[in-house]
Structure 1
Amino acid sequence: MKSHNRILFTSAAIAALVSATPVVAQTAEDSAAPAAKQWDSEIVVTAQKREQNLQDVPISMEVVSGQKLADFNAGDIKSVMNYAPNVFVQSTAGNDVIYIRGFGSPPANFAFDQSVSLYVDGVYAGRSRQAQAPFFDLERVEVLRGPQGALFGKNTAAGAVSVVSAGPTDAPEGALTALYNFDHKGIDISGYVSGPITDTLSARLAYKVVKQDGYIYNRATDHDDPETKQQLLRGTVKWEPSDNFDFTTKLEYANRDVVGGITVSSPTGSAQDPNTDRFLERSPLGDEGNQVESIMASGTANIALGDYTLTSITGYSWFNAKIVNGFDQTIPNSGGAVTNNSVYNAFPERFDQFSQELRILSPTGRTFEFIAGVYYDHSNYQLDQLQGFDILDLGGFPYFGLINSRFNQKADSYSVFGQGTLNINDNLRFIGSLRYTHTDKEADFASRLEYGPFPIRPISSAVGSISEGNLDPSATIQYDIAPRVMVYATYGRGSKSGGFVSNSLGTVDSTFSFEPEKSRNYEIGLKSTLFDGKVVANVSAYDTKFKDLQVSVYQPSKSSYLTGNAASATSKGIEAALSLFLSPYFDITASGAYQDLKYNDYPGAACLASQVACDPLTNNLAGFRPALASKFTGSVTAHAGFDISNDLKFDITGIAAGRSKYFNSDDQDPRFGVQKGYVKLDLRAQISDIEDRWHIALVGKNLTNQLTTGSAFRLPFPITAHERAILYLEPTRNISFEAGFKF
């Protein structure tokens, strides 16, 4: 992977709003016959493995259209996080993680399966670097909150994100959009062509290229970090030789190269006030940043067997990646002085996965309907860690050394699942689901001193295997209390497989493996569509409990991570969304969530900064709130549009999204480890022709320039001569000009 061919991936899936924002317009000469298209309340989703109206699905979920993602240049899951309540994406150095309702899998242990799993066109993508390409040319993204073990199954203890890409069209069409970002000083160009090739064959080809500078000035290199180069390509072919059979195959290629990091230094004794500059020279391991090359392929076949449908989904995924981390060397409160003391590391990764799912769907409209299927996947994962130290004063003498480690894992998983719906009458339904999953994993770990006078971290090795089975049931009662008004109550369980400690130096057999985590969820909800679709109001209340929660917590005193199982934690809360389509020219959507998340029991936990007298051997965090969880999250989207002449129309969309304060350091330091509450404002103003054949637009993101951080940790002495906090700074304000046309 040469640098000019490698490209960036800032992780990823998911998020969204319960409603679609319409394109609205008013004809100046004839306001009684507007050119606007009306909102369509029939938002089709596949959350239950068959096409349904969103308002008929008894799940707390959000849906965002591909057009909304494109309108705000959302290239990854982080970009859409602010538009969905109770969804958080932790920003780290190339290993971002999705949290739903406060639960997720920390990024420190690279080999963690994720508690919130991403699915791309039905294919499981449990690692962020598997899925660079999906966030362009999309049909929609579905975010499902709470355990989804029965139908999605694979590691969805906290929720699931389903990404559905755009498919071939019946008629020829295409589009090209070019964007220039004034603040990032670069371009983002995307386009597609689609249509029939023969009477039975159609295809779609989509492409995206990004070349932009970053938002943090590196004084050592005179470079704006992180510079991003990215290429994405997706080809889709659909064959429909008869009404009883169709086959769709997709191939995605992604290549991205990021030069520079997103960390800045800050004092440990005061609240977060991040700078937008840094000082970091090239380390012995190379330029800081990450390189990822990935391939994802799938084949989906649907065969009609009388009134039943047999579906086969075959998936293959591969990536080759390397992350190089350095940490800003600026000494806080030193007037720009720098120190050569440093720690740096690199993580080359290789991964491949094959998966196969078969399922059968019964016809709808009967007293009893069902879905049943089987699933299998096999994966290989290799992770190298290069841990470098350049310390001027270690006990009175300089130290320079490098410790390397390698982790290998093979995993096989298979499951059987089913869901049945008993329609008691036209208004009352009982839904029951069950999934059994068996997982086998084998892994080994070994570290060695590559060079240096002696290892300042323990040199060790470990070997382990896991064979386990998990049963995930769910039960739902659903009742239509009025036309287009539905209430539901659900009990569900989810699970995530156990695993291994992949990149903590000093790991031995006794600390190598950890147990699976399990969740259970009680939920009630209401979904309503009123006044001919002019009002959409949804609300849900939940109680989600995790047992043997998998954690990986940084311990500054040991400059290492503690990885294992916490006993239990519970999240309780309310999620709601209201959409008002007041006229063909104006609509507004508000969504929000409140959550109360606490550990029920967490013996042997690492000490928090607020625990003055703390013994790690007896410490228990029962009653404490985990990091990275806000009590309140929400967003408001307002859209207006009108015709400005017979040929032109104007559209404007504003999004205000925010969350209350939260700890974003593992030790929950009340000074440097708190991200205060914030609201970010995005705005898009567009002029186009009446038929949307072309457009020009200004797009502003984070217009009030809120400086927020995704995570933080303390870099202690003697790793650095001057202790400091390392903050992962999220994107600052940026404004873009966009132009595009369709044909």
Structure 2
Amino acid sequence: MSAAGIAHAQSTPETGSRADGRETQQERNSAMSDGEIIVTALKGGVSAQKVPVTVNIVSGDAIVSKGLTSVEQLTAAVPGVRINQAPGGLVNPVVRGLGSSPSNNSFEQTVGLFIDGIFAGHPRDYSAALFDLDRVELLKGTQSAVVGKNTSVGALTLVTRKPNFEFGAEGSYYHEFELGTDTLNAAINVPLSDSFAIRLAGLYSNEGGWMRSAFGGKDTPSVERTAVRLTARYSPNVDLDWTMSFQYADMSLDGQFFRTGIDTLGNSRRNAVLGGDTGYTLERFTSRNTFRTGFSYRGLDRIGGENDGIRLNSTLNYSFGDITLTSVTGYSEYDDIFIIDAADMVNSPVLRAGFETDKAFSQELRLATDPSKPFSLLVGGYYYHDKWTYEDLFDFNGAQMTAPSLGGAFQSSYRQTTETFSLFGQLLYKFSDRFQVSGSARAERFNKDGDYSARTIQRPGGLTIAVYGAYPAFSRTGGKSYFDYSLQGQYFITPDTNVYASYSTGTKGFGFVATPTSPGGVVTDPFFDTENSRTIEGGIKSNFAPGSSINFAVFDTRLRDYQIGVNLGTRFVIRNDQVRSRGAEAQVNLQIIDGLRASMTATYADVKKIGTLPANSIRGLPFAPKWSGIANLAYETGLTSELRLKSDVTAEFRSSQALSDATTFPLARVPGRVRTDIRLGVEHEPSGVEVALIVRNLFDVYALNYGFNQAGASGAAQVAEEMPRTIGVQASFRF
């Protein structure tokens, strides 16, 4: 399967058939129908080509074949989502030019992440390892009712592979020569009886860095990931199917994803020279990361980070007649530590360290009638409880800087509890074989409590007085009720072509800034308001020939009180802005000849703030190119009776974009770019063994994907560079 807008028909179903040949209800809801892929995130068991929403699906096989190991790498495979690196190991997911800013750790995500139907609400959850996936589903537009929890502009769903009732195993090893990356994937499926099976899967990856550290001689950032998942499935008959899984994952980051990349006024170099680094230069792929001897925070004594956590999932489906009862239970927890240098200086670093812990529990119960009937109904309830703690340490060693008033150090701590209870429902009525309407609604009660420990001053300085002063312990609390809904109408011109229109609303709850400013010891109000979204969408979907389809949609999304954070180098500005995204999307899949496929997904999104423009803010939004997408050409053919050639070329593109919302950022926009990846493999079909050459960023295109103002150096900025060209070989097997 290539990275097309709709997954190709050879993608494997989510679950394997029972040994007795009968399908379970879960399999009927998740398998393909007449060569089309079923969207499981919408809970209705409907083909992606027949749902009134824009959806992109990529198979797990495609993820592995590209050598991808983490959620932030999905930009290269999933059309329509852009995930950018940010300081502290955070990421910035964007759909249709909209996404939560990574400048505030306490934001929930505007683009919601779901793992096997379980909501993952924190930016750190996007560091999840990718392995043994059945598929990735991206739903665009406001999703308020049935995906599991409200999302403002989209939902990214990871669906892991479930055990089936046939013995099997698979694995792959990837070695990349330029950066020295090694990746190992493996899985084994064992049926213990005709009703009980287990699956054990794991990942190890050690990704090399591409920026040479001037101190220590390391290539950074290097990322090491280890993950393992055990899944058990019990299915004694066609009416009962119960899947349970346990996952442990660990991520270690050595270095950081950004460096000083802009110095228009020479202040960054001046600071470096004052600190004794007379040889300071800005060079491509050269980092100035400082590994400060003696600095330690929670046991981490280097620039970088550590994250480890567990996930437990239970999904129970029980059918009685035409009604299916589903219970989805999730629990997760993680610990995360990071240290970054936001000034990139040898003797005058600006260090920020953070420590996060999170424990989240969710329970969803729903009843659904047979979606193939003229009238179908889905109703349910959802409960979510999250306890999150965050400790922050800033150390502004600015005594030798051009802005010496930035000196000082402080430490603060914040604890947050979020509790949500909601009732939801969805109704579908088919007036005829051609015309149908549907509607959904969600009523939600949202409560949040924030407890701030007393901020302590570790070292007095100008910054601790002017921006981050000491304050006593205090608490904030609040609760609100929300009601969101959607309406869809759909008309089938032919069985293979339909037009649709939809209107949907959504809500992302209010919150409190984890690290508030406190000039002179007076705390700035840490509250940020609820984010409300509304999306209008209309489109056409058509399968016009075997293996070929074309989809087109227009959309208009309005965000009232859009939650945005801006990193100014020495402080963070948190606002509620008024924003809209308006544009169109096209998906084309062509089966040109037997074995040759072409596809392209393109998005045009005009994103801007509406109404009064906030002070010192650009009219648009950062990370919002007007044009973006993925084009793919895949060809397969038999070389001999046993050998098969598999080739794939993917071009991921975007137009120019801003990197910061602040007008003081020294680079207004970065130019557009096209990144080209190729894969050339030969498979020995009888044994299931394949060897492939993988080249990413074939033409070594240089591009920036993140930036923020450098502390203590006006006209200078820290930037994150996209990965340069890499060349690797992958060997895989499956039986």
Scaled by the length of structure 2, the TM-score of the pair is 0.89
Do structure 1's residue 281 and structure 2's residue 290 form an aligned pair? yes
Aligned runs of 1:406-425 on 2, under 5 Å?
406-425=413-432
Partner of residue 451, structure 1: 458
Greater displacement, 90-99 / 58-67: 90-99
Map Cα deviations across residues 595-631 of structure 1 (whole Å, 9 max, x no partner).
111111245x2414xxxxxxxxxxxx6xx21121001
Asked if the contact 1:63–1:143 (Cα under 8 Å) also holds between the matched residues in 2, the reply is: yes
What does 1:280-679 correspond to in 2, within 5 Å? 280-283=289-292, 284-285=295-296, 286-327=301-342, 329=344, 339-393=346-400, 401-454=408-461, 455-456=464-465, 457-461=468-472, 462-506=474-518, 511-531=525-545, 533-555=546-568, 559-566=570-577, 568-602=578-612, 605-608=614-617, 624-668=619-663, 671-679=666-674
- Asked whether the 8 Å contact 1:174–1:192 carries over to 2, the reply is yes
Return the letter of the residue paired with 1:275: R
The CA distance in 1 between the partners of 2:55 and 2:492, in whole Å, is: 18
2:64 aligned with 1:70 = yes
Letter in 2 for 1:738: Q
* 1:49 paired residue number: 43
Rounded Cα–Cα distance in structure 2 between residues aligned with 1:299 and 1:395? 56
Corresponding residue of 2:113: 118
Residues 370/399 of structure 1: CA separation in 2 closer, same or farther (3 Å cut): closer
Classify 1:386/1:16 alpha carbon distance in 2 versus 1 (closer, same or farther; 3 Å).
Answer: farther
User: Which residue of the other structure, out of 5, 29, 49, is the alignment partner of 1:17?
Assistant: 5
Letter of the aligned partner of 2:536 in structure 1?
A: Y
> 1:142–1:281: structure 2 CA closer, same or farther, 3 Å change rule?
same
Q: 1:172-224, CA deviations, whole angstroms, 9 ceiling, x for partnerless residues?
A: 11012111111121310111001311121011110111123211110211001
Q: Is the 8 A contact 2:595 2:637 kept in 1?
A: yes
* Aligned residues of 2:174 and 2:182 also touching (Cα < 8 A): yes
Deviation at 1:709, TM superposition (A): 1.9
Aligned with 2:525: secondary structure? helix
Cα distance in 2 for partners of 1:668, 1:135 equals 37
Contact 1:459 1:505 in 2 (8 A): no
Paired position in structure 2 for 1:35: none
Q: Contact 2:517–2:523 at 8 Å: present in 1 too?
A: no
* Aligned mates of 1:116, 1:692 — CA distance in 2: 41
1:107-160 deviation line (CA, Å, top 9, x unaligned): 111010111111111111112433655521111111011100121252401111
Is the contact between residue 105 and residue 122 of structure 2 (CA under 8 Å) also seen in structure 1?
A: no
- The DSSP-based 3-state class of the residue aligned with 1:703 is coil
- 712, 717, 724: which one pairs with 2:707? 712
* Aligned counterpart, 1:615: none
2:695 to 694, 700, 716: 700
CA distance in 2, matches of 1:280, 1:593: 36
**Structure 2 residue 732 is matched with structure 1 residue 732:** no
Q: Say whether the 8 Å CA contact 2:109–2:123 is kept in structure 1.
A: no
Distance 1:194 1:184 in 2: 33
Give the CA deviation at 1:230. Answer: 1.2
Letter aligned with residue 388 of structure 1: D
Distance 1:680 1:310 in 2: 45
**Helix, strand or coil at the partner of 1:675:** coil
- Total equivalences in the alignment: 685
CA apart distance, 1:50: 2.5
Q: Distance in 1 between matches of 2:314 and 2:445?
A: 24
The 2-side partners of 1:514 and 1:496 are apart by 11
Percent identity reads 26
Q: The residue matched to 1:434 in structure 2 has which SS?
A: strand
Is there any run of 5+ residues in structure 1 with no aligned partner, and where?
A: 1-14, 24-37, 331-338, 609-620
Deviations 1:622-677 (A, max 9, x none): xx211210011122100112222222111110001110000012215685242210
The structural deviation recorded for 1:317 is 0.6
How much has 1:83 moved relative to structure 2?
4.0
1:150 aligns with 2:145: yes
Mean alpha-carbon deviation: is it higher for 193-202 or for 653-662?
A: 193-202
CA distance in 2, matches of 1:397, 1:525: 57
Cα 1:660/1:78, change in 2 over 3 Å: same
Shift of 1:251: 0.8
Cα offset for 1:269?
2.4
Could you tell me how far apart the structure 1 residues matched to 2:476 and 2:597 are? 56
Q: Which residue of 2 aligns with 1:32?
A: none
Secondary structure of the residue that 2:477 maps to in structure 1? strand
Deviates more, 1:534-543 or 1:362-371: 362-371
Report deviation, 1:411: 1.1
Change (3 A) 1:270 1:735: farther
**Contact 1:153–1:494 (CA under 8 A) maintained in structure 2:** no
Distance 1:159 1:714 in 2: 29
Contact 2:71 2:127 in 1 (8 A): no
Please give the alpha-carbon distance, in whole angstroms, between the structure 2 residues aligned to 1:54 and 1:86.
Answer: 15
Contact 1:347/1:385, CA 8 A, preserved across alignment: yes
Deviates more, 1:358-367 or 1:459-468: 459-468
Which residue type is aligned with residue 101 of structure 1?
Answer: R
Where 2:75 maps in the other structure, the secondary structure is: helix
Is structure 2 residue 185 aligned with structure 1 residue 190?
yes
* Structure 1 residue 18 displacement after superposition: 1.9
Partner of 2:174: 179
Report how far residue 398 of structure 1 moved. 9.5
Residue 618 of structure 1 corresponds to which residue in structure 2?
none
Change (3 A) 1:473 1:687: same
Asked if the contact 2:666/2:716 (under 8 Å) is kept, the reply is no
Q: Which whole-Å CA distance do the structure 2 matches of 1:105 and 1:397 have between them?
A: 33
SS at the partner of 1:641?
strand
Q: Which moved more, 1:456-465 or 1:139-148?
A: 456-465
Alpha-carbon distance in structure 2 between the residues aligned to 1:654 and 1:399: 49
* 3-state secondary structure, aligned to 1:732: coil
Q: Over aligned residues, Cα RMSD in angstroms?
A: 2.4
- 2:270 corresponding residue in structure 1: none
The yes-or-no answer on 1:170 pairing with 2:147 is no
Q: Which moved more, 1:140-149 or 1:636-645?
A: 636-645
Unaligned ranges ≥5, structure 2:
12-31, 267-281
CA contact (8 A) 2:646 2:680 kept: yes
Distance across 1 between alignment mates of 2:511 and 2:729: 46
Q: For 2:72, what is the secondary structure of its paired residue? A: helix
Give the Cα separation in 2 of the matches to 1:199 and 1:647.
33
Tell me if 1:137 matches 2:146. no
The alpha-carbon distance between structure 1 residues 525 and 122, as it changes in their structure 2 partners (threshold 3 A), is: same
> Which residue type is aligned with residue 503 of structure 1?
T
1:300-344 deviations in Å (ceiling 9; x for gaps): 1111122200000010010000111114636xxxxxxxx522201
User: Following the alignment from structure 1 to structure 2, what is the Cα–Cα distance between the partners of residues 59 and 134?
Assistant: 28
* Aligned partners of 2:409 and 2:458 also within 8 Å: yes
SS of match in other structure, 1:569: strand
CA distance in 2, matches of 1:324, 1:546: 33
Q: Shift in Å at residue 459 of structure 1?
A: 2.0
The question of whether the paired residues in 1 share the 8 Å contact of 2:508 and 2:531 is answered with: yes
